[in-house]
């Protein structure tokens, strides 16, 4: 065999391998015995050659090719390569759908066939509305409403309203500038307030430390009170209170009893009358002593004075008076 023949055969083998490899990379197996069917869709947004063809969620084939048909309203004819053991017929439908991630695929739905296909036939298609279509259908009325609302707002905002709004915005801008100037002018005060706040925070931190110590002291005091013999002290206090109560009851009994000394002092009027009479006599005596001191005290400078007498008048509790004459000795003072 000449070299030219060998080179030609090698070139044919390389071309065949290239075609087979290219088709394999596109998802089509040239050497497979799978059956090819066709499905026509108005549009196949996102569907690619080699896309999944599934039955009940299981891959049973793939998209072999796609062809645009200008003579049929630019519809797309899709070639479906299915496994040979998949039986399709006149009741089978091919639904074009996609996932939330955007990948498209075709789902087969089998039914009771009156006629089975052997390959090359056209399968009925179903194109359900996608998420984008549903969103567009819902969003269009809302967008129309928003557009109408904006038109009303534009109609409301006439020249006068726009002028007022511009004036309001200018006033707000002027207020903002004034506020900025005020802040700049009071930067020193703001810095002072900041320093005061820092000092206050430091003082609060120190106070917090002291409060922690106080809390620890209270905890120790609570522990001490808990361990202290409070029970015996309370029992002694109760006993002391009981003794005091008994003493008070005895004192009340003694004061209420008119036969005893305390009772007589409180309930017998004779003692009160005697005390009143004695007080009155003492007052009369003092008055008489101030008025007539010579009647009670006599001084003789040269001695040898005569004995004199004095008269005492005593008022009794019953109102009667008694008069008594007493001698008064004279005291002599020598030279």
DSSP states of 274-309 as a string? Answer: HHHHHHHHHHHHHHHHHH-GGGT--EESSS-PPPEE
Q: Which two tokens stand for residue 228?
A: 């202290």
Beta strands across the sheet bearing 35-41: 35-41, 75-82, 58-69, 52-55, 104-109, 93-98, 124-126
Lowest mean pLDDT among 7-16, 256-265, 321-330: 321-330
**Per-residue confidence at 143, pLDDT binned at 50, 70, 90?**
confident
Asked if 154 and 103 sit in the same domain, the reply is no
Which three-class secondary structure state does DSSP give residue 146? helix
Distance CA 83, CA 32 (A): 9
Q: Which two tokens stand for residue 117?
A: 């296909």
Asked if 46 and 101 sit in the same domain, the reply is yes
Asked if 150 and 84 sit in the same domain, the reply is no
The answer to whether residue 311 scores a pLDDT higher than 50 is: yes
pLDDT of residue 39: 93
Residue 119 lies in a domain: yes
The answer to whether residue 128 scores a pLDDT higher than 70 is: no
Lowest mean pLDDT among 117-126, 240-249, 254-263: 254-263
Residue 160 lies in a domain: yes
pLDDT of residue 170: 85
The answer to whether residue 105 scores a pLDDT higher than 80 is: yes
Asked if 36 and 123 sit in the same domain, the reply is yes
pTM: 0.35
Distance CA 258, CA 281 (A): 28
pLDDT of residue 334: 44
Asked if 72 and 147 sit in the same domain, the reply is no
**Per-residue confidence at 333, pLDDT binned at 50, 70, 90?**
very low
Counted domains in the chain: 3
Which three-class secondary structure state does DSSP give residue 210? helix
The answer to whether residue 57 scores a pLDDT higher than 80 is: yes
Residue 181 lies in a domain: no
**β-strand partners of 199:** none
Asked if 91 and 118 sit in the same domain, the reply is yes
The answer to whether residue 222 scores a pLDDT higher than 50 is: yes
Residue 2 lies in a domain: no
The pLDDT > 90 percentage for the chain reads 13
Residue 188 lies in a domain: no
Average pLDDT, the chain: 78
Asked if 120 and 156 sit in the same domain, the reply is no
Residue 5 near residue 55, CB atoms below 8 Å: no
Tens digit of each residue's pLDDT (9 = 90 or more) over 65-90: 999 999 988 999 999 999 888 889 99
Asked if 105 and 155 sit in the same domain, the reply is no
**Per-residue confidence at 157, pLDDT binned at 50, 70, 90?**
low
Asked if 67 and 102 sit in the same domain, the reply is yes
End position of a domain, from candidates 128, 156, 179:
128
Residue 6 lies in a domain: no
Distance CA 86, CA 123 (A): 13
Asked if 84 and 149 sit in the same domain, the reply is no
Asked if 106 and 146 sit in the same domain, the reply is no
Reported as type and span, the H/E element at residue 141 is helix 131-156
Residue 39 lies in a domain: yes
Give the residue numbers spanning the domain of 49: 32-128
Q: Which of 313, 305, 308, 300 is nearest to 327 (CA)?
A: 308
Contacts of 93 (CB under 8 A, 6+ apart): 108, 109, 111, 123, 124, 125, 126
What stretches of the chain adopt beta strand conformation (E)? 35-41, 52-55, 58-69, 75-82, 93-98, 104-109, 124-126, 299-300, 308-315, 321-328, 331-332
**Per-residue confidence at 224, pLDDT binned at 50, 70, 90?**
confident
Distance CA 300, CA 321 (A): 33
**Per-residue confidence at 210, pLDDT binned at 50, 70, 90?**
confident
Asked if 49 and 113 sit in the same domain, the reply is yes
pLDDT of residue 93: 93
The answer to whether residue 335 scores a pLDDT higher than 50 is: no
pLDDT of residue 6: 72
Residue 150 lies in a domain: yes
End position of a domain, from candidates 165, 185, 217:
165
């Amino acid at each position: 065999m000449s070299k030219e023949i060998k080179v030609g055969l090698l070139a044919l083998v390389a071309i065949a391998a290239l075609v087979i490899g290219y088709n394999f990379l596109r998802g089509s197996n040239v050497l497979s015995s799978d059956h090819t069917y066709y499905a026509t869709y108005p549009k196949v947004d996102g569907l690619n050659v080699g896309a999944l063809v599934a039955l009940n969620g299981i891959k049973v084939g793939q998209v072999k090719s796609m062809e645009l048909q200008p003579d049929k309203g630019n519809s797309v004819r899709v070639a479906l390569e299915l496994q040979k053991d998949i039986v399709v017929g006149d009741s089978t439908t091919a639904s074009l759908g996609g996932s939330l991630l955007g990948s498209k695929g075709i789902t087969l739905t089998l039914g009771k066939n009156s006629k089975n296909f052997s390959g090359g036939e056209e399968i009925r298609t179903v194109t359900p509305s996608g998420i984008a279509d549903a969103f567009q259908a819902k969003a269009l009325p809302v967008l129309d409403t928003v557009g109408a609302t904006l038109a009303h707002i534009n109609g409301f905002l006439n020249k006068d309203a726009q002028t007022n709004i511009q004036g309001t915005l200018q006033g707000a801008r002027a207020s903002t500038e004034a506020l900025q100037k005020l802040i700049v002018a009071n930067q020193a005060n703001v810095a002072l307030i900041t320093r005061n706040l820092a000092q206050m925070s430091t003082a609060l931190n120190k106070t917090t430390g002291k409060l922690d110590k106080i809390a620890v002291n209270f905890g120790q005091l609570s522990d001490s009170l808990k361990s202290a013999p409070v029970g015996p002290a309370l029992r002694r206090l109760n006993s002391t209170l009981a003794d005091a109560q008994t003493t008070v009851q005895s004192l009340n009994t003694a004061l209420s009893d008119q036969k005893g000394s305390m009772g007589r002092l409180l309930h017998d009027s004779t003692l009160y009358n005697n005390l009143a009479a004695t007080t009155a006599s003492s007052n009369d005596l003092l008055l008489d002593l101030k008025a007539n001191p010579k009647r009670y005290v006599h001084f003789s400078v040269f001695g040898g004075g005569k004995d004199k007498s004095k008269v005492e008048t005593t008022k009794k509790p019953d109102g009667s008076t008694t008069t008594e004459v007493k001698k008064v000795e004279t005291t002599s003072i020598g030279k």
